[in-house]
Structure 1
Amino acid sequence: MSVSLHIPGVSVDFTPSHTRNPQAFPLNLWYVAALSKEVNSERPLARRFLNEPVVLFRTADGAVAAVEDRCCHRHLPLSNGTLEADGIRCGYHGMLYNREGQCTEIPGQDKVPAKARVHAYVVQEVDSLVWIWFGSERDSQPDCPPPSYPVHSSPEYVWDGDVFHYQAPFQLIHDNLLDLSHLGYVHLQTIGGNARIHMNAEQKVEANGNEVLVKRYMRDSVPPPTYTAVWPFAGKVDRWQEILFTPNHLRIWTGAVDVNTDDLDDPQRGGFHMRGYHAITPETETSSHYLWTMATNPQDNREEVLAAVIQQTAFTFQEDKVVIEAQYNNMKQFAGEPMVDIHVDVGPNRARRIMEQLKQ
């Protein structure tokens, strides 16, 4: 529905985002809005989620807040303003908003109208991730807590992470992460390895409710460059990839042990581990935020090894970004042309069906 805003001498037509479109994105879900380290009390963080402009910030007590990124007076983005102990102040006329989105101060005016407010989002911070709730109605409350991720607090691991912005729909990123057969072709210099071994890996796909688990084993294979750079393998390795998809985030556990030294089905197996956390949050129908962390288990030189793993991971994900954005651009050029599935598409296809069901 189009709405006209009338200001003396100005007429603006716009379509409000108050009504959410369930056909575009799954709703009644938690989405990752930011890594905790991104949100501070010094400067606002502006992002768009599911087509809605949001500003995130911390108040003086350390609490994370997320409100609609506009001042209710003349709609300047609040992210253009400044942070204070009790909230965020508009950079146009100085109106101050608290974490509930209520304006608490109008400079030069004693009375603050009750309607002087903007929408506040439900946010929770869990295991160094900031989650934001998107319900089918704007004021709906969560019916469950955000997922935990204890790897971030485990003494066994060291970790770090970053954020990428994609000019591509979020589902294409899900597809990429659920199909690691591409590693031998896209990531030759880092986590790849023999492409033929990747394409012929032993694979199991399991579905349980809204989860999809893909297990891939590459036994008696040559470890890729990233692995040999940080772990003292004796020679060939038995390598695993376990990908757990849940709506809008994936947990990918990869690693290797010296060949014939450990059971790849043992959850306590040793060797070199990389535990990746991949949160894919739609910005719009055609763009996405990709928030990721990578944890690893060095034997020694923990910070040095972590720095090398993070550098290699970022390089790897940049390679994926180039491929996915090029793929999407070509999909638009060849719109309507059929795509043929192959054996590696079982996991991605099951995840897509889950996301479609959640839109209903």
Structure 2
Amino acid sequence: MFPLNQWYVAGFSWELSDKPLARTLLNNRVVMFRTAAGEVAALEDRCCHKSLPLSCGTVEERGVRCGYHGLLFAPSGACLEVPGQDRIPIKARVKSFTLVEKDQILWIWMPAEDGTAPTHDAPDYWVHSDPRYTFKGDVFHYNAPYQLIHDNLLDLSHLGYVHLKTIGGNAKVHMNAELKVEAAGDQVRVLRYMPNSAPPPTYTGAWPFKGNIDRWQEVEFNVSHLNIWTGGADIGTEDMRDPHRGGFHMRGFHAITPETDTTAHYMWTMATNPHPDKEDVGQLVYEQTALTFYEDKVIIEAQYENMKRFPNAPQIDIHVDVGPNRARRVIEKLLKQNEIAAAAPAPLQPVAQAAPSVSV
């Protein structure tokens, strides 16, 4: 169901406190924690003794301790201590996952074969470290398959209908916006430009525009996450295609991590550049963004419920579906690659040559 040999977002740095964090990721029940030395770790959420979830236990200096009989497990999954006995059974260990912390994001490697090391580094997200931006985020749970969320984020024409109170704007302008879709490798980019359009409420609350604005929406799809750069500037003051343009910016990080075949985690942050003549509006933008995403959540979950009611009903495509359809083809390609790799015969091992016999 999911592309493997990929990095997925498991959570954010601020979620790891003094307690274990349990989360189901790609049908794997995982417990995450941070050691006293600052090392982040992810283990299968099951004690190898009596199967209690390790997330029911406690985080200690060296690892996580089971809340049933007190077995202590290291970030590697190895059992470090069995209370009441000196000998630690050879099989006393639990499955571990590679967990990396970068830019306040927790990335987990989901291999096609257990125990295999990552083949490439976890992605960077420079926005979280850029002093020009302030950001805040959250984690939502969806009762819907993860690709329906991809579809929503790659088709921002819906803003004029779903998000009238926040980032919407004129629905006709959205549906007729200049649209360009680019694809390279496993990445898809959707570019939308709306010159001379009315700024929506979130924009006017955060930035002192003089009137209508030149507005842009740039969506970058990756298998595990999307980067969405939206914003606007007073008419004619900025080149909307200049990567260094000014104006009001909203840079969204959207990690869509499947929980199960039919549910998903939506882990997001929103960063904005405060205007020098206004007080920091980061909290306002965060609250408006959260409201926007709740509106999307209602739509997507209702959509999925209706898809289950009409399981064989055909769907048509319209012009705004180019980006979502490209992304679905990327997922299909990666799934096929996983299938081919899984079906490939194991490489032959060299046969040891017997030593020549010597007669005496």
Q: Per-residue deviation at 1:159?
A: 0.7
- Aligned to 2:250, which of 252, 256, 274? 274
Query: In structure 2, how many angstroms separate the alpha carbons of the residues matched to 1:58 and 1:135?
Result: 22
Query: In structure 2, how many angstroms separate the alpha carbons of the residues matched to 1:153 and 1:348?
Result: 30
Contact (CA 8 Å) 2:36, 2:61: kept in 1 or not? yes
Paired AA for residue 165 in structure 2: Q
Residue matched to 1:75: 51
- Aligned to 2:15, which of 38, 50, 75? 38
1:210-289 to 2 correspondences below 5 Å: 210-289=186-265
Q: Per-residue deviation at 1:261?
A: 1.4
What's the secondary structure of 1:313's corresponding residue?
helix
Q: Per-residue deviation at 1:301?
A: 7.5
Q: Per-residue deviation at 1:138?
A: 1.1
Paired AA for residue 138 in structure 1: D
Q: Does 1:28 align with 2:1?
A: no
Residue matched to 1:13: none
Residue matched to 1:10: none
Distance 1:301 1:293, change over 3 A: farther
Paired AA for residue 98 in structure 2: V
Contact (CA 8 Å) 2:29, 2:45: kept in 1 or not? yes
Query: In structure 2, how many angstroms separate the alpha carbons of the residues matched to 1:33 and 1:202?
Result: 35
Query: In structure 1, how many angstroms separate the alpha carbons of the residues matched to 2:124 and 2:278?
Result: 24
Query: In structure 2, how many angstroms separate the alpha carbons of the residues matched to 1:168 and 1:351?
Result: 17
Query: In structure 2, how many angstroms separate the alpha carbons of the residues matched to 1:135 and 1:152?
Result: 27
Q: Per-residue deviation at 1:156?
A: 1.0
What's the secondary structure of 1:156's corresponding residue?
coil
Contact (CA 8 Å) 2:274, 2:280: kept in 1 or not? no
Q: Does 1:57 align with 2:41?
A: no
Paired AA for residue 36 in structure 2: A
Q: Please list the CA deviations of residues 144-191 of structure 1 after superposition, one character each: whole Å capped at 9, or x if unmatched.
A: 000101111011111111100001000000000000000000000000
Name the TM-score, length of structure 2 as normaliser.
0.92
Paired AA for residue 130 in structure 2: S
Residue matched to 2:169: 193
Q: Per-residue deviation at 1:299?
A: 1.7
Task: Extract structure 1 runs of 4+ deviating beyond 6 A.
Answer: none
Q: Does 1:154 align with 2:104?
A: no
Residue matched to 2:115: 139
Paired AA for residue 281 in structure 1: T
Paired AA for residue 16 in structure 2: V
Query: In structure 1, how many angstroms separate the alpha carbons of the residues matched to 2:223 and 2:13?
Result: 21
Residue matched to 2:323: 347
Query: In structure 1, how many angstroms separate the alpha carbons of the residues matched to 2:31 and 2:284?
Result: 32
- Aligned to 2:63, which of 81, 87, 102? 87
What's the secondary structure of 1:350's corresponding residue?
helix
Contact (CA 8 Å) 1:158, 1:302: kept in 2 or not? no
What's the secondary structure of 2:250's corresponding residue?
strand
Query: In structure 1, how many angstroms separate the alpha carbons of the residues matched to 2:113 and 2:128?
Result: 32
Structure 2: 5+ residue runs without aligned partners? 337-360
- Aligned to 1:334, which of 310, 313, 318? 310
Distance 1:56 1:27, change over 3 A: same
Name which one, 1 or 2, has greater alpha-carbon Rg. 2
Residue matched to 2:349: none
Q: Does 1:204 align with 2:180?
A: yes
Query: In structure 1, how many angstroms separate the alpha carbons of the residues matched to 2:278 and 2:306?
Result: 42
Q: Per-residue deviation at 1:300?
A: 3.4
Contact (CA 8 Å) 2:157, 2:175: kept in 1 or not? yes
What's the secondary structure of 1:43's corresponding residue?
coil
- Aligned to 1:66, which of 42, 51, 70? 42
Contact (CA 8 Å) 2:251, 2:270: kept in 1 or not? yes
Residue matched to 1:103: 79
Name the TM-score, length of structure 1 as normaliser.
0.92
Query: In structure 1, how many angstroms separate the alpha carbons of the residues matched to 2:224 and 2:42?
Result: 19
Query: In structure 1, how many angstroms separate the alpha carbons of the residues matched to 2:210 and 2:29?
Result: 52
Structure 1: 5+ residue runs without aligned partners? 1-23
Residue matched to 2:341: none
Q: Per-residue deviation at 1:304?
A: 3.6
Percent identical: 62
CA RMSD of aligned residues (A): 0.9
What's the secondary structure of 1:71's corresponding residue?
coil
Query: In structure 2, how many angstroms separate the alpha carbons of the residues matched to 1:178 and 1:140?
Result: 32
- Aligned to 1:177, which of 148, 153, 170? 153
Paired AA for residue 236 in structure 1: N
Residue matched to 1:11: none
Paired AA for residue 175 in structure 1: D
